[in-house]
Amino acid sequence: MKVFISSDMEGTTGVVDWSQVTAGQPDYDYYRTLLLEEVNAAIEGALSAGATGFLVNDSHSKMQNLRPDALAGNARYLSGRHKPLYMMQGLDDSFDAVFYVSYHGSMSTAAPLSHTYNPRAIAEVRLNGTVVGESGINALVALGHGVPVVLVTGDDVTADEARAVSPGIHTAVVKTAVSRFAADSLHPHAARALIRERAAAAIATLAGARPPAVDLPATLEVTFRNADLAEMATWVAGVERIGDTVASMTDDNPIRLYRRFITVVLLTRDIAE
């Protein structure tokens, strides 16, 4: 039984400031260790319920935040930038389950360090009319491969967002949002224990899990922070401007739709002020 893990960092217990998740800052090494332990807790919980193989796709910032030799379960480690499927690189239909570890809420929420891929460019994303964050957008790849998303760890706002696209998902809420830069966090030991428990439950009930609930063809509507960014998004084939700051893209292939969105993200990343 194979588990694909996409690991971010902002959803780690105690994290409430960009300096804690930015390489080179004084607190980064401490919080990357907490992230590693939360990833390992998810692996350990899954192992206890019968999972046998793991691929961890490091999906935060430059995507080189974990220590490969310290990963539990002899997990494979996919790291580095310029991955065609970005946070979901490495997933295919040979996997049985997807875990999101240390995820955060969308830009339009009060989740700690909320953003949707690029906070300097993107104000909001809707999938078939529902506001989604990275958990919902990334679910398109899981849907394309027919793999259920069964666990998300992070704050309470993020957990609620994930449920909108993946009904029945198991959640490990390691902190409660107070504002975009404040949270009430569990002690790291308690957070890991909760993640182990919820990961084990996700695998134990896998027989009843289903791929994300997204009707096809699916539409992503992206609201940008200014009109220039919306116009530049239309440079990507299949993207249509439907408002001053809104661009839309529709496809019956969820992976192709996801790749189109990622191309827009990469285009706007360098030109956003």
Q: CATH number, domain at 81? A: 3.40.50.10780
- Residues 93-106: what's their mean pLDDT? 98
Chain center to CA of 176: 18
Tens of pLDDT, residue by residue over 230-248, are 999 999 999 999 999 999 9
**128 in any annotated domain:** no
Residue 133 to residue 130: CA distance in whole angstroms: 10
196 plus 251 within the same structural domain: no
Residue 1 corresponds to which tokens in the numbers above?
């039984």
183 plus 63 within the same structural domain: yes
**32 in any annotated domain:** yes
Domain that holds residue 47: 2-122+133-208
**127 in any annotated domain:** no
Domain final position from 208, 227, 260: 208
117 plus 231 within the same structural domain: no
Reported residue count of the chain is 273
- Residues 181-210: what's their mean pLDDT? 98
Domain final position from 208, 227, 259: 208
- The pLDDT mean for the chain works out to 97
- Residues 26-38: what's their mean pLDDT? 98
Residue 134 corresponds to which tokens in the numbers above?
């990275």
Residue 183 to residue 176: CA distance in whole angstroms: 5
pLDDT at 93 over 90: yes
**51 in any annotated domain:** yes
pLDDT of residue 270: 72
The helix/strand/coil state of 82 is coil
Residue 138 corresponds to which tokens in the numbers above?
């990334």
**196 in any annotated domain:** yes
Residue 265 to residue 140: CA distance in whole angstroms: 16
pLDDT of residue 269: 80
Decide: 120 and 225 in contact? Cβ < 8 Å: yes
65 plus 95 within the same structural domain: yes
pLDDT of residue 273: 58
Query: Model pTM greater than 0.95?
Result: yes
229 plus 143 within the same structural domain: no
189 plus 266 within the same structural domain: no
64 plus 179 within the same structural domain: yes
**262 in any annotated domain:** yes
**112 in any annotated domain:** yes
pLDDT at 217 over 90: yes
Q: Is 189 a catalytic residue?
A: no
Cβ-based burial of 85 (10 A; exposed 0-12, middle 13-18, buried ≥19)? middle
97 plus 196 within the same structural domain: yes
Domain final position from 188, 208, 228: 208
178 plus 266 within the same structural domain: no
Residue 149 corresponds to which tokens in the numbers above?
């998303």
41 plus 99 within the same structural domain: yes
62 plus 155 within the same structural domain: yes
Q: Pick the catalytic residue: 115, 145, 170, 187?
A: 115
A 10 A CB-CB count for 156 gives: 17
Residue 212 to residue 139: CA distance in whole angstroms: 6
Give the DSSP per-residue string, 30-54.
HHHHHHHHHHHHHHHHHHHTT--EE
pLDDT at 272 over 80: no
Query: What's the pLDDT band for 53 if we cut at 50, 70, 90?
Result: very high
**59 in any annotated domain:** yes
A 10 A CB-CB count for 220 gives: 23
pLDDT of residue 137: 98
Residue 268 corresponds to which tokens in the numbers above?
């706007």
Domain tally, the chain: 2
A 10 A CB-CB count for 179 gives: 11
pLDDT of residue 52: 98
Residue 133 to residue 109: CA distance in whole angstroms: 9
pLDDT of residue 74: 98
17 plus 118 within the same structural domain: yes
